[in-house]
Structure 1
């Protein structure tokens, strides 16, 4: 018997397989609706290319912002005392459990015409897409990096400090390299979440083709009878599905112990 088999009751396989079917059958149904003969034409349609490029560009911008502010926050949480770490971790987790539409409303009340930062003129612009993506994607990076930094401990940092290394050198040469798997996983998950964002973007940035219409918005618009064709919407859905699979494979490849 495999060392991982354990002593779980055999009947658990029945509900487990039901769960697997529930997760996979909708995806298989999606793939079955792809028109393979026109797939390339659908994906390269002008509206589809515009939505794809906008998603990638804004996703990269949002990911860069998340790295710039999220990595310091993750390190702060990992090295803070219990109470402060718990408070910061709770704040970071809120966007994960918050309905995306509520996030869009919150951003409107902050940056909108009557919001606290109304002078920014941010809503319904391409920059608003980046802000919405950053809001929903930041927790994925912070929690991944925070877990990696906390797990690595402080022993190597103390050794480096005892040898005369400064704080910045320790951070750059010790802390970040030890947390590299978590950092890579967080960046990849952050980017995937950014390009898949829909709810907050729809409310805060709108759905203007070429300006704020990302792939999820183009798919939604197509299935409501406007914008790109349904065939293109299915093709874009397949593209997002393949992106998600690639993200999972990349994250698994960087996860400690993934070779086992």
Structure 2
């Protein structure tokens, strides 16, 4: 159930180029959020909220961790928030990843840029179920890389950069053939990446999580939609997603 909550900022730090990690304290959201869900934050001075995926949860400390990229004035303002301040939030929002996997299975996580954070929380939860995790993480350049050690602690991890300044040069899809066998894949990132991944793995069962600017964030408007194969036609990313079966959507 989505609730309007006040979330206290516990810490803020820039962990890569224009990429900010923020830890927020709130009992309700930390207790109920699942991998793939997001919080919809209201930034002071702005009308529309910003949807930001949940990268980690510490239920004992009642905190969630989010990561966001500074891409405009709104996220720049959010990056200026400091410890002890409060943020108006709606959450946990959206439908997250399916966690139904047989024990001892292997999953492949494919993330690009700011689509990587929700995969981190997903990987941690899979590991608790004795599910092997392989991750392919794509960044623009070496200065953009974050959470490499976090993912390495959870399983085999491949880092890819567009310019080859770190890790493997190329696209995340270039690396898929190197990882070996896996049972399902989970991907989050920009639309061109999701299109390439779903095409490359069209015969494999998987899930896609969409990054999208939203209006209401609760399904009342049609600002964020994706075309699907079922009778509904278009579905709302904020309410029906942001995670969809790869076979369900038309992208």
| Band the TM-score falls in, shorter-chain normalisation | under 0.3
TM-score by length of 1: 0.23
Higher-strand-fraction structure? 2
TM-score by length of 2: 0.23
RCO comparison, higher one (Cα < 8 Å, 6+) = 1
Higher-helix-fraction structure? 1
